[in-house]
Amino acid sequence: MRQSTLFTKTRREAPKDEVSKNAILLTRAGFIHKEMAGVYSYLPLGLRVLKKIESIVREEMNAIGGQELILTALQKKEVWEKVGRWNDEVVDVWFKTKLKDNVELGLGFTHDEELVNLLTEYIASYKDLPIYPYQIQTKFRNELRAKSGIVRGREFLMKDLYSFNRTEEEQNEFYERVKKAYMNVFGRCGIGDKTYFTLADGSTFSKYSHEFQTVSEAGEDIIYITDEDKKEAINKELGEKDGKEFKSIEVGNIFKQGTKYTEPFDLLYQDEDGKQKPVLMGGYGIGVTRLMGTVVEVLSDEKGIVWPKEIAPFQVHLISLPQKTVFWADEIYKTLQVKNIEVLYDDRDLRAGEKFADADLIGIPTRVIVGDKALESKMLEVKDRASGETKEMTLESLTNELI
């Protein structure tokens, strides 16, 4: 894409009330736009990153047997009353609204009830199980405060996967598969080395749950790392430990819900012996927009964002300097496009310093500068955003490295 046609521009300042690093950098670089606290639009660059994270999550969920569907934001009161979660005193993050005839509706902050209710129409026998439906969908949570940018939103994108199993053994086996899939997701998003599988408080049906915690100063949780090699930790909510404390962001969680939701909805199956049994349920979440925010919190430096390769909006930031190199830069742009390498081409008539500062802020992994010298020697200056290292390469060796 030619940067001259991109309607967003970098900005020197984010809105004054913005305090989180992720929101400040993403706003300044033109990835997001704040509509109100905790509610952000995703501009072209931001949407490209979000779609890449979505694709990674989708691939990893499909690989462990997930079936994608999409549930609704509008929720019926009756469905939520079954497990007692309609009441605002029980769930304090509801946004509620009304139909024309004054029937009350809620905006989904999660989807356990809606999904279990739906599945009663499809599950009857042991032959219908196990199943692993998931969605990547917008959730609404009426947070009292929302000062963490896209790390804690009032309107945000979440992947929620659910397991429906016949036996604990079957569920445990899937739980292990999800653990691996989640670590793949965080690894591919560039924060694998800072993310820990963390023991945390359970719910009614299991003593413990597990969280995926990414060490970051912006975190609202505190963990103790118990095994650095195995990437294991324990949440401070389970009791204090000596050992160093780390602030961390919860990027995912997985937990067993037993029959908490399936029993009230009569989600039963007939086993091989003709007996009716309640289905065992599990829930597995990843905050997709939160994950994007966490990557920015963890990987940015004083100059701007540093995107990992798999989720960068483009692979290459091509910069023409000065005007007389434009003809050759145009050729390189075409060559990279033909080879299906995603390029943001800074073809704007600006000073070198401005272009470099913008490129640092936007954070595309590989920068290619077509400068004066290039005209003679046909060598391109190639800079790695993360390490800052620069080398000279021919176009051919560059494309070979990138494909």
- Out of 142, 184, 259, 270, the only residue in the binding site for a second copy (CB under 8 A) is 142
The distance of closest approach from Cβ of residue 8 to a second copy in the complex, given in angstroms and rounded to an integer, is 6
Residue 44 in the binding site for a second copy (CB under 8 A): yes
Q: CA 222: distance to chain centroid? A: 21
E-assigned strands of 217-334?
A: 221-227, 232-235, 245-258, 268-270, 276-278, 280-287, 316-320
| Binding-residue pattern over the window 119 to 138 for a second copy, x denoting contact by CB under 8 A | x-xxx----x--x-x----x
Q: Considering the complex, state which of residue 194 and residue 355 has its C-beta at the smaller distance from a second copy.
A: 355
Residues 14, 25, 29, 43: which binds a second copy (CB under 8 A)? 43
**H or E element that contains 380:** strand 380-384
Among residues 122, 163, 156, 129, which one has the least CA distance to residue 141? 156
Distance CA 120, CA 122 (A): 6
- Region 336-395 residues binding a second copy, contact defined as CB under 8 A: none
Instruction: Compute the least distance from the CB of residue 132 to a second copy, in Å.
Output: 9
Q: How far is the CB of 150 from a second copy (least distance, A)?
A: 12
Q: Do 365 and 312 contact (CB within 8 A), yes or no?
A: yes
Q: Which stretch binds a second copy (CB under 8 A): 90-98, 184-192, 231-239, 308-316?
A: 90-98
28 membership: H or E segment, kind and range = helix 21-28
Burial of 132 (0-12, 13-18, 19+ CB in 10 A): buried
Q: Which span (65-73, 170-178, 203-211, 213-221) binds a second copy, by CB under 8 A?
A: 65-73
221-227 and 268-270 beta bridge pairing: unpaired
Site residues for a second copy, window 1-30 (CB under 8 A)?
A: 5-9, 11
Interface contacts to a second copy, rule CB under 8 A: 5-9, 11, 33, 35-36, 39-44, 46-47, 50, 65, 67-76, 95-100, 105, 107, 114, 118-119, 121-123, 128, 131, 133, 138, 140, 142-144, 154-155
